[in-house]
Amino acid sequence: MNNTQESNKVLTDFLSETKTTQIIWALQDKASEDWVVLDSPSFEETEVMPLWSSAELAQQHCIDEWSNYTPAQIAVADWFEFWLEDLNDDGVIVGVNWQGDDECLEMELSEFTQALAEIESLK
């Protein structure tokens, strides 16, 4: 698989699982309630927020510098209502089903949100 196909698969898998649950997972510090946002490995002077399609995938990263963090869910509807504007204001991009610095799909917020909008179930 080339990088584009691999990136598409990562996003497709993420969306497929999220479509069913309507939940995105991020890591939140138990004490401060801060969320994991880190310097992008690919883009200078850009911060990236890692997101996962399941608590299990997120939990795998609660080690080392993130050992005080725990998977926390964000409803897809809340993503559009609350998160989008704040992250956009801060210029944060998204790491989809984050694997680590060397293997990650980073997306512009607008691209990620557009893909998410296509699977949002309107209740």
Domain ranges of the chain: 3-119
Single out the residue of 39, 11, 25 nearest to residue 83, CA to CA.
Answer: 25
2 confidence band (pLDDT: 50, 70, 90)? low
Residue 22, sorted as left (phi over 0), alpha (psi -120 to 50) or beta, turns out to be left
For the entire predicted model, the pTM comes to 0.92
Our CA angle for 116, 120, 122, nearest 5°, is 155
Three-state DSSP at 104 gives coil
* Region 49-56 average pLDDT: 97
* Region 16-43 average pLDDT: 95
Tokens of 115: 């893909």
The whole-number pLDDT of residue 1 equals 57
Which residue's entry shows tokens 């138990």?
Answer: 30
* Region 87-101 average pLDDT: 92
- Is the pLDDT at 98 greater than 80, yes or no? yes
The CATH number of domain 3-119 is 3.20.20.80: no
The whole-number pLDDT of residue 5 equals 77
